[in-house]
Every structure is written in structure tokens, then in C-alpha cells.
Amino acid sequence: MAPAEHFILAARVDDVRSQGRLLIQADGHAVVLFADGDHIYAVDNRCPHMGFPLNQGSLKDGILTCHWHHARFDLATGGTFDPWADNVRVFPVQVRDGEVWIDLSPREDVRAHQRERLQEGLEREIPLVIAKAVVTLLSAGDDPSESFRIGLEFGSQYGPAAGGAGFTIHTCMMNIMPVLDAEDRPRALYHGLSAIARDAAGAPARFVLRPLPISRPAFPSLKRWFRQFVEVRDAEGAERCITTAVRTGADDQQMAEMLFTAATDHRYLSIGHIVDFTNKAFEALDIAGWQHAEAVLSSLARAYAEADRSEESNAWRHPIDLVEILESAFGDLPSAIESGRGQRGQWAGRSSLVTSVLGEDPQAIADVLLEALRQGCDPVDLAGAVTYAAALRIARFPTSNEFTDWDTALHTFTYANAVQQALRRTPSAEVVRGVFDAAMSVYLDRFLNVPPARVPEPNGAEDPEAVLTKLPEIFDRQQQVNEAATLVAQYLANGDANRLLAALGKALLREDRNFHTIQAVEAAFCQFEDLRGSPEGTHVLVAAGRYLAAHAPTMRAQGQTYQFATRLNRGERLYEETERVLATILFMDIVGSTERAAALGDRRWRDLLASYQNLVKQEVTRHRGRNINFAGDGWLATFDGTVRAIRCAQAVIEAARRIGLTLRAGIHTGEIEIAGDGVAGMAVHVGARVASSAQPGDVLVTGTVRDMVSGSGIRLEDRGTHTLKGVPGEWQLFAVTR
Ligand code: FES
């Protein structure tokens, strides 16, 4: 029991007993006192889920139920039965001479609790729990690398681990964190951790293969075996080589040599992703520590074994056999590097090399790369020049291209960047092959610059502050690719580059998590560090700005979840009906209504519609929703609880089926504007579009809804990504199956 001096007088026992519950303010805490049987309990009045006042909840059989999303708590301990909600804080109570005294001494170790919550959020893939844990931890002064480590350990155990997008996003977010505004750092962590959780969701646990039972096999043998196993696509043999090498003491440089050599044994593996994932795995270990190497690096083996090899693709073989050109060049690589070794630092051909790489002759490209090495070009610098050429493909990408081709240019750029970082770890002749692959990919991408978009030249005429104000506005509108490029270039003429990086980072984090955009921005930031203050540095950030603008705005639904977490952390109220409120929007309409009306005739159709509207009103009221309007055979209602909206939709569909009507429903959660008796806002529009994408009898929901009902027992089936008419971006939709 806490020392008596921490107790304060809260109320008279009679007052609590006579009313059953009593809300008090004590030292800045809103505390609700409950009388239950012989006991009196004191509970934080703020529901830990989203802040609803618990003095408005229900108490039955010792269980306190919050009325917003139905989280249930054991009144005595505060423990929740619903992990998405968290335990509610209870205060020790003493009854002294007819008075209730409560102990308000601080909860022990907030950080340890929130780390546990983060783990739980990852395990159950509940973005709101992840966001709340990260926001609380960082505002309590926790080092972001601690949350990063928790994500890395969790992500290494499930799903594709380091061989998946989530792991790479997680590391990208950590990499860009130093340039972000302090307020954006938790958001970056939240994006990365949510991506890890999504990759792991539903995946079986991964058990790392034990190392070979020999004490110290020679590293050269393990490296050779690893390459052979990858060659024959034997994932388990390859994994065992990795675990044995790490367990027997191979260091980060040796492991980089082993992995990046195999990653460049074949051409442009999986459109560059293998080298990219491997690079990010090493960067993650730089942050979290080498003790995680066995778990992280071993998880790459399967991706290596299953990778697509570009020598098997038509584009690399016809009409010009690029692989033949490359194999011939690789034969000359060791001697070219060796003959340039004595002249390192004297090479001055970067500009003409970039021009050649952007040219039309693959044989000339291979020749110019070899010649640069002979003249003393450092392999890392060679990779830097090719990466810059790849960035120019994005900077010159005309918007008349196919939208999906942004990804083609992006893959080459991030691959080239990853090869350069790999060479910093292991500058071997084998890994230099990756530079040649990148250059050939730049060559193959030449059709993406026909005609080339103009790369803006800054003239210093714009006030940098005005540019920083305009930049987020540009990203609020679609098709502002060239405008974004101009603003970036103008700003860098006389603005502080660090502030531009922070602004681009902020713009990235506002959008829904998009693997490729995150990769593009992170790689551009990485390249910019080498090119700061030069026109090339400007071009690299122009490329990032253009890519970002091409992929914005999205619906920013992930940002909304994050906003809830920050507002809760600040102690704001989310449940009040202000001008803008958070609500779950339910749209339903009758399938085939025109045909039914024609078949029934006017009078019978009118009667049927009246029955339908009655049953809808009853079910909405029963599920504590708000009927907004009927428009023809369509119907809109709002709810302050996502689960109740889904249950209501299911009940209405079933009741309508019994009177011979087939319905479909769409549900979305977002901020709406209250306008008289009606509602408005993009979230309402989204709900309507989701409904029109639903199959007859389906309740279709957005990813935001999915995030809100995680752990509630509602089962969802992924129905893939959809475009919703009049709504930007792509939407992942889910059908309710139970
Ligand atoms: S369950 Fe209490 S606010 Fe959501």
C-alpha cells in the first residue's frame, strides 16, 4: 500500500453511496468514484482508449463498460478485457471515518508500460495503440532508437522480416528522423512501426535456423557456400550459412561482403529490391546493434533464393543483350580497379560520365564506367555518379508518362543508392557489378524522359519563407509535380537546406504510408548529404519533390489515427460534438432498386420503401446511431462507435433480406462537419463511394475502420485496393465476414 501521506480526501462515503458514482477533481485529475457492493473504487475518468468520460459508462457485476466503443474494465484492478483500449488507471482507496481517501501517487514506470503497449500494438496490429505508445514514450523523453529496436525485434520474428517492405520503411523512417522537426519524429516512428506490424499480421512465427554444428568453419567457405545455395535457390542452405557466419564471429564487414556479393551475382535482382532490403538491414543493425544480426540477416535468405533475375527478362536481352555486355565488362573489372588504384582522387570525369550513362548506347556506358575506374575513380564515387543519373530520370520525368512508370524510375534510383551504400561497407570488385547493373537500368529507363521535363534552375527571386509556406499547399493538390520542382529549386537558391528537408519530411509523413514514396524521399535525402550546396544536390531534391507531388495528396487516414493519439496525449477531448467531429459514417443502398420498383409498381414499391425505412430507423436507434437522411433508396447514418456501425449494417441487411430487399453498405471513419441536421466533408464522400464499391449483401469498410476494430472480434477479408471516384489515392477495402 502506498504511504498514507500520498492520500487525499476525495469525498464522503454517503455521497458516493447515495449517487452510486461521483465525479471529483483532485490535484488536476478527473476521478470517478464508484460504490459497488461493500467497496468504493476510484478510477481515472478518462477512458484510456479515446478519452470518453467513464462516469457515463455502465457498471455491472464489477465490470465497467465505456459507452463509446464498449471497452470493458475490471473495476477493482482497472485491467481491460479489450487490449485495444489499455488498462484504466485505478487509484488505491481507503475509507476513514465515513470519508473516502484516494492515493494519487504517480503510476510506476510509464515508459515500461508504454513499451509493453507498443509490443501489444505490434502483435495485434492496432495502429492507434502503436501511435499512442510512441507519442507517450517520446514525449516522456524515451530515445526513439528504443522503439525502433522493439519494432526490429518483433519484425524479425514474423513474415518476410528484413525481406519485406515494412522493415525497409521502418529503417527509412529512422534514417530521416534527424532532419525532421521534433514534432514529426514520433509520427515517423509510428509509420515505420505500423508497417512492421502490417507485414507481420497473420504471419506465422519465424524460427531462425541453427548454425552448423562446427566450431569455426572458415568464412571464405561460408561465403562460397552461401553464393552456391542462392544460385540453386536453396533458402534454408543459404540461411544456415548466414547464421553460422554470424554465430562464429563474422563481423559486419564480412557479412556485407557475403550478402552483397551474392546480391550482385545475378543482374538487378527483383528490380533492385534485394540490394535495397539488404542495405536497409545493415542500416537497421547500425541503429539497433549487431546483437540482432543473426535474426535480421537470416531473414533475407528466402528473398535471395526466390529473387527474379533480370537476365531472364526480355528487356535485358533484346534487342540488345545487355547481360552479354555486362559479363564482358565484369571480366575487365578487377584489372580496371587495380590500374586505377594508384590514381585515386584524381578522377574528374563525373559530369561526362553522367551524360554517357543517360545516353543511348549500353556498350558505351559499360566502357565509360570501366575507363573511369582505370582513371582512379573510387567505386563509391562511381556509384554516386550513376545514382545521380538515376535521380535525373525522376527529375526529368514528364507527367505525360504512365503513372506507374514513376515506380520504374524509382526502383533504379533506390537500387543505385543502395549499391553505393553497400560499396561503403565492402568496396569489392564483385559489388561494383551492381553499379554497372544500375547504369544499365538507367539506360533502360531512357524512354521515361521522352520528352524530358525541364529541371528548374533557381534564380533566387522567391522569398524562402514564402516558398516554405507554399510547399504544403502544393502537396494538397493533385498534379502539382512541376510546381513542386520549381519551389524546391527556388528555395535552395538562398534558403536553409535543413528546413527544406524538414518540410519535405513533414509532407511525406502527412500522406498515407506508401513504400515507394518513402524510399524515394529517403534515398534523395541520403544522396543530398553528399551533394549539399551543389546544383546536383538541388536536382536530387527536385526529384524527391516531384515524386512526392505525383503521389499526393492521399486520404491521410493514417495521419488521422496519429492525430487521435497526439490529441489524447495532450489531454484533448475527442468525443465532443464540436463543429468537426470524429464519426463513423454508414452508407447503404438497395441493389437493383429500379428493376424492383418497375416490377412491383408504384404503390407496392412505396409501401416496401416505407417498411425498409422503418426497419432502418429502428436498427440505427437500437445501435445508438444517428439517422441523417434518406436519399431515394440510399441512406446515411453516423455513429460514435465503429463496431456498432458495423453491427447495425449487418442487422439492417439481414432484416431487409427478410422483406425481399438486397442491400450493400460502405463504412468509413473520419472527421465530419456538422451542418445543421446534416453532415458534410470528404469522409462522408468516402463512405458513399465505399458503399458503391460493395457487392450485393456486403458490408465494405476502409482501412481506417479496420484499424479501429482491431481486436474487437469482427472478422474482415481483404478486398484489395480500389480507386474511389472523386477521391484521391488508392484505398484498401475490406469486407466484413463476421
Ligand atoms: S471505448 Fe472508451 S473511448 Fe473508446
Domain ranges of the chain: 4-103, 110-200, 219-282, 313-449, 464-557, 573-736
Apex CA 163: angle with CA 158 and CA 168, to 5°?
A: 100
Q: pLDDT at position 550, please?
A: 93
Q: pLDDT at position 726, please?
A: 66
Atom of ligand 1 lying closest to residue 70 CA = 1
Taking the C-alpha atoms of residue 229 and residue 300, their distance in angstroms, rounded to an integer, is 13
Fold (CATH) for 110-200: Zinc Finger, Delta Prime; domain 3 (1.20.272)
Q: What is the model's pTM? A: 0.79
Q: pLDDT at position 152, please?
A: 97
Atom of ligand 1 lying closest to residue 47 CA = 2
For 573-736, give the CATH class. alpha beta
Residue 47 in contact with ligand 1 by CB distance below 6 A: yes
Contacts of 667 (CB under 8 A, 6+ apart): 584, 585, 586, 587, 642, 645, 646, 649, 687, 690, 699, 700, 701, 702, 705
Atom of ligand 1 lying closest to residue 71 CA = 1
Q: Atom 1 of ligand 1 has which residue's CA nearest to it?
A: 69
Q: pLDDT at position 3, please?
A: 47
Q: pLDDT at position 617, please?
A: 86
CA 197 to centroid of ligand 1, rounded, Å = 22
Q: pLDDT at position 631, please?
A: 58
Q: Are 411 and 271 in contact (CB under 8 A)?
A: yes
Residue 197 in contact with ligand 1 by CB distance below 6 A: no
- pLDDT means per 10 residues, the chain with 738 residues, are 67 92 86 95 94 93 91 96 92 94 85 95 93 95 96 92 93 98 96 95 88 82 97 97 95 98 98 97 98 97 97 96 98 96 90 97 98 96 98 96 92 98 97 98 96 87 89 90 94 94 96 92 98 96 96 84 88 64 88 82 82 87 82 78 91 91 92 70 84 92 87 86 77 90
For 4-103, give the CATH class. mainly beta
Q: What is the 3-state secondary structure (H, E, C) of 220-280?
A: HHHHHHHHHHHHCCCHHHHHHHHHHHHHCCCCHHHHHHHHHHHHCCCCCHHHHHHHHHHHH
Residue 705 in contact with ligand 1 by CB distance below 6 A: no
Q: Atom 4 of ligand 1 has which residue's CA nearest to it?
A: 69
Query: Best of 47, 56, 712 to mutate for ligand 1, by most ligand atoms within 8 A of CB?
Result: 47
CA 56 to centroid of ligand 1, rounded, Å = 11
Q: pLDDT at position 632, please?
A: 56
Q: Are 196 and 151 in contact (CB under 8 A)?
A: yes
